[in-house]
Every structure is written in C-alpha cells, then in structure tokens.
C-alpha cells in the first residue's frame, strides 16, 4: 500500500512538472505587451522613413521634369527670337521720312522683373509661323511679356508676339491694337540690350576691349549690330530665383543700315 502511495505521488509530481514546462514554453513562444509595442513602433519608423524617401524621390523627379520642360521651351523661344533677328529686313527710308524697317527697343526693369519690348521688321516664318499670309513679305514683329486674355476670359502672363504686314495697310491702322499671341507662359521676364555702335578703343596694354551695351536704341532707322536677349523662366518651385537664359544675336544687315 505504501508502494502504491509512493507511485501515485511520483505520477502527480511528473504531471505537475509537465504542466509547468508546457506553460513556460507557451510564455516563451508568445509576445509581451512591451515587445508588441516595440515592434509596432519600429515598423512605424521604417514606414515613415520609406515614405519620406519616396516622397523626396517623387518631388525630385517632378522638379527635374519641370526644369527640363522649361529649358526645352526656353530654348525654342530663344531660337525663334534669334532666327527672327537674323532675318531682320531693312530698306533705305525716303528722304525726309522715317523708316518703318528699323529697330526699336523699350527697357522696362531689370533682372527677373524685366518686361522689355523689342520691335523690328523681318522676313520669313520665324515667330509667326509658315501659315501666316505675310510670311514671305516684309512684316513687323513685336516681342514682349504681357498679360493675355483668351476667349474664355482667362488671363495668363507670358512671352507674347504680335505681327503685322508693313505694306498695303490702311491709313488708320494702329499696330498697338493688334492682338498679341502667347508664345510661352514659362517666360516671365525679358531683358534686351543692343551693342553700342561707338565702342571704346582697345586698351593700350593690348587684349580685347570690354563691349559697351545700350539699354535704349534711339536710331530707329537703323539696325544694331548685335542684340543681347535674356529670358527669365518661371522657377520650378516657389521661392526660387527664375532660370536665366542669355544669347547674343548678330544682325547681318546692321552695317548696311548704318551706311557702312
């Protein structure tokens, strides 16, 4: 009987030990509340870092795309202006009368706020398109940054051009009433300078002299030898400075218009 009691006690002890081992294993396999909170916090940090990196990459891609589009459009506009200046037309004026085939320029501001205006006569399709009825005859063009209102009443600001033929116009024709055509809304500023016909002598020490440029062109019956065009493009992000593009264009008929 005593042996049976000892045998039962051993079985009870073994059973209790097994249950304790099972509970300990269950505690080891599960997670405590602190461990769960740490895991959730770590996942939140990783997700935040991943989102910020993705957002920065998207913004950089968008800024790069906008910059590329602005440069592409600025190059196109600049090339059109350069082609128009190279194809400038000039005719000797009748004695006692002013010429309609010269060059005029109005300076309005500096840097990104510059809204200069240039007007000259030319031949060809530059700035007006090949479908213009007067592309093959002398016509005047005027390039400036202006506000343009479309047929729906929406006003947009950008580089504009207006043009008109010079011959066979009515006596009451007013070029200022010609409706401008919007070339690019990305161009927010235009600055122009002309090469001074009277340049300073070269320095006594040799070398090239510094070129003298004019902000005004008063010899409207003549063409300048060169025009410096500066375009200011809309920045890709608010608070940034506009992108500046500059080119110097030589006018082939300038010497002829100046009697040289």
User: pLDDT of 189-203, one tens digit each?
Assistant: 999 999 998 888 777
Residue 62: both structure tokens together: 């968008």
> What are residue 224's phi and psi, to 5 degrees?
-70, 155
pLDDT, greater one: 208 or 72 = 72
Residue 214: both structure tokens together: 């004019």
Residue 68: both structure tokens together: 């590329």
Binning pLDDT at 50, 70 and 90, where does residue 180 land?
A: very high
| Cα distances (angstroms) measured from residue 8 to each of 1, 19, 20, 90, 98 | 11, 17, 18, 125, 131
Sheet with strand 103-106: strands edge to edge: 103-106, 117-122, 139-149, 155-165, 181-184
Q: Is 238 helix (H, G, I), strand (E, B) or coil?
A: coil
Binning pLDDT at 50, 70 and 90, where does residue 140 land?
A: very high
For 24-66, how does the pLDDT look when each residue is reduced to its tens digit (9 = 90+)? 545 555 568 787 888 888 999 999 999 899 888 888 888 788 8
Q: How far apart are CA 173 and CA 156, in angstroms?
A: 27
Check residue 115 and report its DSSP letter. B
């Amino acid at each position: 009987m005593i042996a049976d009691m000892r045998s039962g006690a051993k079985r009870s002890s073994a059973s209790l030990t097994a249950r304790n081992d099972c509970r300990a294993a269950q505690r080891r396999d599960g997670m405590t509340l602190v461990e769960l909170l740490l895991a959730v916090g770590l996942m939140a940090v990783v997700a935040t870092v991943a989102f910020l990196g993705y957002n920065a990459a998207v913004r950089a891609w968008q800024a790069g795309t906008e910059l590329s589009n602005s440069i592409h459009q600025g190059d196109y506009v600049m090339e059109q202006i350069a082609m128009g200046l190279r194809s400038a037309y000039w005719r000797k004026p009748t004695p006692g009368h002013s010429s309609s085939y010269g060059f005029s320029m109005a300076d309005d501001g500096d840097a990104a706020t510059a809204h200069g205006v240039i007007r000259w006569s030319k031949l060809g399709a530059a700035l007006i398109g090949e479908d213009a009825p007067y592309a093959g005859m002398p016509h005047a063009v005027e390039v400036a940054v202006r506000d343009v209102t479309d047929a729906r009443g929406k006003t947009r600001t950008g580089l504009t051009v207006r043009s008109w033929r010079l011959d066979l116009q009515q006596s009451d024709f007013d070029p200022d009433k010609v409706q401008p055509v919007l070339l690019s809304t990305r161009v927010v500023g235009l600055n122009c300078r002309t090469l001074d016909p009277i340049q300073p002598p070269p320095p006594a020490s040799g070398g090239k002299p510094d070129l003298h440029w004019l902000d005004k062109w008063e010899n409207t019956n003549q063409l300048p030898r060169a025009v410096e065009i500066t375009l200011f493009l809309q920045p890709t992000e608010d608070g940034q400075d506009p992108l500046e593009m500059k080119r110097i264009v030589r006018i082939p008929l300038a010497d002829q218009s100046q009697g040289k």
